[in-house]
Amino acid sequence: MGAGKSTIGRQLADALGLGFADTDQEIQDRTGVDIPTIFEYEGEAGFRARERQVVDDMTLADNQVMATGGGVILDPDNRRNLSARGLVVYLFCTPDQQYERTYRDRNRPLLQTADPKAKLEALMAERDPWYREVADLVVSTERRSAAAVVREIIRHMDDE
C-alpha cells in the first residue's frame, strides 16, 4: 500500500508499449462501486473473493503490466497465478514511507483505524515474506522517483 504500484505500473506499461491493468480498478468497474463500499457491504472476505477472480482473469492476458492491490499476495491462488503467469516485481517501501504517502487517503479501508501507521507495520510484517517468495525482482521505491524505478525494472528485464 502506497508503494507506487499504479503509478509505476502505468509508466512501465508506457515505456514498454504494453497495456496497463489495475486489479482494484477492474473490481470497481465490474461492481460499479468503489473499494470502500465493497468493504462496507461485503467485508474484506467479500472483497478478497472478487479480487481472486479478477487476478485469475487478468493474469491470463498477454502484453500488459498489471498492478495489484496490496493484499492480493495473501491468497494462495493469487500467488500461484501471479508467479506462473508473469514476471512479478515487488515494489518495496517501508511502513514510514507508506504512511507518508497514504495518511490523507480516505479511499483505503484498511487504514481507517486509530493508528494507521501501526496497521501498515502489521501489514508489512504479514505480507513482506509472501511478496519476497513470489517476486522475480524486488525494487525499492523508497524516496525514489517513479521514472528511476521504471528504469531499474527495464534494466532487469533487458538482462534476462
> Rounded distance, CA 98 to CA 85, Å?
28
**Mean pLDDT value of segment 144-152:** 95
Q: If you ran DSSP here, which 8-state letter would residue 109 be given?
A: G
**Chain segment 114-145, per-residue pLDDT in tens:** 788 888 899 899 999 999 999 999 999 998 99
CB 159 within 8 A of CB 17: no
**Structural domains of the chain, count:** 1
Core vs surface per residue 58-86: b (16+ CB within 10 A) or e? bbeeeeebbbbbbbbbebeebbebbeebb
**Chain segment 25-54, per-residue pLDDT in tens:** 999 999 999 998 999 999 999 999 999 999
pTM above 0.85, yes or no: yes
**Chain segment 78-128, per-residue pLDDT in tens:** 999 999 999 999 999 988 888 887 767 676 766 777 788 888 899 899 999
List the CATH number of the domain containing 126.
3.40.50.300
CB 66 within 8 A of CB 4: no
Q: Which domain holds residue 12?
A: 5-159
Rounded (to 5) percent helix, strand, coil in the chain: 65, 10, 25
